Each structure stands twice: as structure tokens, then as C-alpha cells.
Amino acid sequence: MKIESITLQHVSMPLIAPFETSFGRETDRQCVIIKIHSEGLAGYGECVATRDPGYNYETTGTSMHILKDFIAPSILGKDVKDALDFQERVAGIRGHHLAKAGLEMAIWDLLGKRAGKSLRQLLGGVREKVEVGVSIGIQESTQSLVRSAADFVEQGYARVKIKIKPGRDVEDTAAVRREFPSLRLQVDANSAYSMDDAPRLKPLDKLNLLLIEQPLFEDDIWDHHKFQAQFETPVCLDESILTPRHARYAIEMMACRIINIKAGRLGGLSQGVMVHDLCQGHQMPVWCGGMLETGIGRASNLALASLPNFVLPGDVSASDRYYARDITNERFVLNSDSTIDVPHAAGLGVTIDEEALKSFSLAQITL
Ligand code: OSB
Ligand code: MG
């Protein structure tokens, strides 16, 4: 598959409601949309880097740079056979997983379109719809958080995740638990704590949570082992797992009991599948994380989440939870059983609303 051209588009899309985490607040979501051409077909990918380096060190700015100056030159005009061939070609570029994963997604889209197969089929997915939940950002007050959770439960979400940070943790979580005694509930700290905070977080253990996500430092595995040893609730790692090797360390160190898989953070869908397979072999459940994706990344997440060891609901909500206007013509809707259908058309299975894409564009480069 000869890569004839690559277009990078830096976009900014207004969110329906601001999204606040322990590391910041977004009202518009930025990302980089990647389009590649080969033999009369176009493939699309989404690089989930954000405007600010709050989730990890990558930003839309660094990913535009790495894609343009390093990733594109390693594949332009070359015959890229598949995702693993792509990974070999970019292996000399250290880190920058979000940038690599965006380009790899576009390769998968092209591979699927060429073969007439959906991404789900290419990856070995086994479900036609996947269980999903909603990730609720930090709200102005505990009362508004409870109201927001009630609203999503009303809409049909059977699993709710709430973001926590120091000062907004046990009380917020307990309030949601009081209102919904049997809701599948989990929390995500995005690295806001250290081991010194563990005793203060201990009451979370009494709230019947599915998991506590990434309480400690984004580059830590060992302290998470110590944290897990003090808690009955499963710890789930997100930020700390950047490679299949990190997943093996976490399993061997008993640093967590669950892993959140994001293809972006791991450097590509191919790497996400590897972590999935490794965890499956160790009876460690996984679920699909989200980065407020557009319809492009959402289609990719749904295909990935259809693999057999994705046994917990993903952070892959319906399009109307994020955007009034999306850049795909397809919009994803929540079924009454808290699932979303996995696309079945070739490749990612979505088409682009070119008008919308243009209207959100901040900058564009074609190579
Ligand atoms: O930690 O899971 C996270 C969004 C941006 C950055 C990090 C995270 C998130 C989410 C949103 O939780 C999940 C979604 O896409 O709905
Ligand atoms: Mg997370």
C-alpha cells in the first residue's frame, strides 16, 4: 500500500459542556485529523493529543510537529504493508504515542477499505455492540454532580465514572452512591494523589466501586502496587501503561487488577490489541478508555472494544454527550441496554462531513 499523500488538520470543536479533570478544564476539544491517500482510496485517523500537556506530555502542537517532520517522512512514498510494518518504520521515534496512533488508525481505515472488511473484523472483534458508560467531569458542586449523574442514568447509561481530585473525592463519590445504591460506579483521579493520600481515600473502599483509576503519578507502577495492597477495590491503570511491556510490569508487580486500554496512549491499535491479549492470558479484565473523540476515533474505540477481553463498559458515550456537530456523517447513539453498535462498513465504517471538518479547522498541511 503505497502512501501517496498525508494531510494533517488541526481542529477545535466546541464541547456541549466543559469537561474538567484533576489536570484542567476543556470547553473546546482540539485534536489532529489525519488523512492518507493510497491507490484511489482515503484513510482517516484521529490523533487524540490535546491542546495542553495535561493528560501526558503530547499536545496538538507536538503531534503536528512529530507527524510532519518525522512520521510522515518515514512512510511517504513507501509501501506500508500493515500496522506492524508501520510500527517498525517509526520505531526510531521515541515516545509520541498519540501521534503514531493517529497515523496507524488511518492505515487501518485504508486496509479495511481495500479488503472490504470492517475494523472490527480486522482486529478480531467478537461483538456487534459493546457496553458503554459515561465519564463525568468535576462539577461545580456535589449537588450538581449528583444531578448530572441522574441525568445520564435517565438517558440510559448503566455505568458512571466520576473524576476526582483532592478536596473533591470521597464526599462527591459517596453522594452519587447514596443516590444510586446499585449503579455501576467508578472513579478516575488522573494522577492527582500520592501515597500520603491513601489513608484519606480509604473510605472509597466502602462505596462498592468497580475500580479506582490512576490514583498516583502518571509514570508510576510501583507505588500503585503499594496502593493496591491497601485497597480492596481494584486499581485500574491508565496513564502509566504506555507499552505492552508496562502492562507486563503492572501484572507482575500486582500494581493493578484492571487496565484501561487507549490505542492512542499505547501508540496504536496494534499495541492496544497486544495489551488486550497479554491481559487476557493473565485473566486481567480490560476496558476501552476515551479521549473525547470525534466520530473517527469513536468508531475506532468501538471496534477495539469488541474484542473478547473488554469485559467492563468503555468510556465511549453517544455522540450527543460530546458534540452538537461532529465531523462524521454518522452519529453514535445509546441503545436501551447501555450499548453502542460497532460500525460494520469497511474500514472505520464512517464518512466525513467535509463542511463540518472545514468549519472546525485551525490549520492544515498536506505532505
Ligand atoms: O483519563 O480517561 C481519562 C478524557 C480526556 C483525557 C483523559 C481521560 C478522559 C476521559 C473522557 O475520561 C472519556 C470520554 O471520552 O468520554
Ligand atoms: Mg483515565
Q: Residues 220-270: pLDDT tens digits?
A: 999 999 999 999 999 999 999 999 999 999 999 999 999 999 999 999 999
Separation of CA 20 and ligand 1 centre (Å): 10
346 domain-assigned: no
Does residue 154 sit in the same domain as residue 80? no
202 counts as catalytic: no
Global pTM reads: 0.97
Does residue 102 sit in the same domain as residue 199? no
CATH code of the domain in which 160 resides: 3.20.20.120
Q: Which ligand is nearest to the CA of 135?
A: 1
Does residue 62 sit in the same domain as residue 163? no
State the helix-helix crossing angle for 244-253 and 222-230, rounded to 10 degrees.
40
62 domain-assigned: yes
273 domain-assigned: yes
Does residue 193 sit in the same domain as residue 335? yes
Per-residue pLDDT tens for 315-356?
A: 999 999 999 999 999 999 999 999 999 999 999 999 999 999
Does residue 129 sit in the same domain as residue 238? yes
Does residue 139 sit in the same domain as residue 65? no
Separation of CA 14 and ligand 1 centre (Å): 16
Q: Which ligand is nearest to the CA of 241?
A: 2
Domain containing 303 equals 121-341
Domain count, the chain: 2
Q: Residue 294 to residues 98, 152, 204, 300, 336: CA-CA distances in angstroms?
A: 15, 20, 33, 10, 22
CATH code of the domain in which 55 resides: 3.30.390.10
Does residue 84 sit in the same domain as residue 221? no
- CA 159/CA 176 separation, integer angstroms: 12
Does residue 281 sit in the same domain as residue 306? yes
Atom of ligand 1 nearest to the CA of 321: 16
333 domain-assigned: yes
DSSP E strands in 80-152: the ranges are 129-131, 134-136
Does residue 239 sit in the same domain as residue 271? yes
- CA 307/CA 305 separation, integer angstroms: 5
Please name the amino acid found at residue 217: F
Residue closest via CA to ligand 1's atom 6 equals 291
Predicted local distance difference test score (pLDDT) of residue 352: 98
Q: Which ligand is nearest to the CA of 214?
A: 2
- CA 35/CA 364 separation, integer angstroms: 11
Tell me, using a 6 A CB cutoff, whether residue 289 lines ligand 1. yes
Separation of CA 1 and ligand 1 centre (Å): 33
Does residue 148 sit in the same domain as residue 285? yes
2 counts as catalytic: no
Tell me, using a 6 A CB cutoff, whether residue 104 lines ligand 1. no
CB 360 within 8 A of CB 12: yes
C-alpha cell read off for 38: 493510497
Atom of ligand 1 nearest to the CA of 214: 1
Q: Where are the alpha helices (DSSP H) in 53-96?
A: 60-66, 72-75, 83-89
For residue 203, name the pLDDT band (cuts at 50, 70, 90). Answer: very high
Tell me, using a 6 A CB cutoff, whether residue 239 lines ligand 1. no
Separation of CA 367 and ligand 1 centre (Å): 31
159 domain-assigned: yes
Predicted local distance difference test score (pLDDT) of residue 171: 98
For residue 313, name the pLDDT band (cuts at 50, 70, 90). Answer: very high
Predicted local distance difference test score (pLDDT) of residue 305: 98
Per-residue pLDDT tens for 16-72?
A: 999 999 999 999 999 999 999 999 999 999 999 999 999 999 999 999 999 999 999
Could you say which of 129, 163, 202, 226 is catalytic?
163
Does residue 12 sit in the same domain as residue 143? no
